[in-house]
Amino acid sequence: MKALFPALMKWVATAGEDLHRCRAAEIRAIVKEEGGVSAAALEKMSLKKSVVYEALRIEPPVPYQYGKAKQDIIIKNHDSNFLIKKGEMIFGYQPMATKDTRVFDKPEEFVADRFMSEGEKLIEYVYWSNGRETDDPTVDNKQCAGKDLVLLLSRLMLVEFFLKYDTFTAEIGKLLLGSLVTFKSLKKAT
């Protein structure tokens, strides 16, 4: 969370005031319609969900993954196959997958609505939890057991923030293990 929340707010801050107002409008309308913040309300907020996935795509909180192969496996990319033998160490840098130009248009840009409508099919290419976003953690894989909690908390953070504020500006910096976000202005909800 120490890496994720600042990165999430960094990308939201850099997206600008128009996106802030759209997000705030979506969140407030659905919260009003649902009678409060609930699991059903969170599921209806497609822009907010897309923003969270996009932040995870562009800047995974844990970009490196590694492990020993439990059996011989073949890893495939667009052009080749690679045999990894049982017992060999595997290292992955997740942004190589999440910024693949053959999968994502403008992969270095934060596109808030990338995972809305037709873009939802791209969610399977978001690797931030040591596996595909569409896969579930099990005792047989190394996927983050808390991945659903991370998504929930990220969504709740945006919901609570935009229930209170219309827009904000921030100064963005870099820390050793992530982003530094210093809020410069906050405009209360109107």
Query: Would 16 be classed as within a structural domain?
Result: yes
* 22 annotated binding-site participant: no
pLDDT above 90: residue 112: yes
For position 65, what pLDDT does the model report?
85
d(CA 67, CA 89): 6
d(CA 5, CA 179): 9
Contact present, 58 and 15 (Cβ < 8 Å): no
Digit-coded pLDDT (tens) for 169-186 = 999 999 887 899 999 999
Q: What percent of the chain stands above pLDDT 90?
A: 76
For residue 18, the enclosing domain spans: 4-61+107-188
Number of domains observed in the structure of the chain: 1
d(CA 159, CA 151): 12
**Which two tokens mark 79?**
């052009």
Query: Would 176 be classed as within a structural domain?
Result: yes
d(CA 111, CA 108): 9
**Which two tokens mark 127?**
């690797």
Query: Would 23 be classed as within a structural domain?
Result: yes
Query: Would 69 be classed as within a structural domain?
Result: no
Show Cβ contacts of residue 35 under 8 Å, excluding neighbours closer than 6 positions.
none
Query: Would 149 be classed as within a structural domain?
Result: yes
Query: Would 70 be classed as within a structural domain?
Result: no
Query: Would 173 be classed as within a structural domain?
Result: yes
pLDDT above 90: residue 156: yes
For residue 137, the 8-state DSSP code is P
Query: Would 34 be classed as within a structural domain?
Result: yes
pTM above 0.85, yes or no: yes
For position 66, what pLDDT does the model report?
85
pLDDT above 90: residue 143: no
φ, ψ for residue 36 (rounded to 5)? 140, 180
Give residue 144's pLDDT band: very low, low, confident or very high (50, 70, 90): confident
Digit-coded pLDDT (tens) for 67-101 = 899 899 999 888 999 999 999 999 988 898 899 99
Task: Tell me whether strands 89-93 and 165-175 are parallel, antiparallel or unpaired.
Answer: unpaired
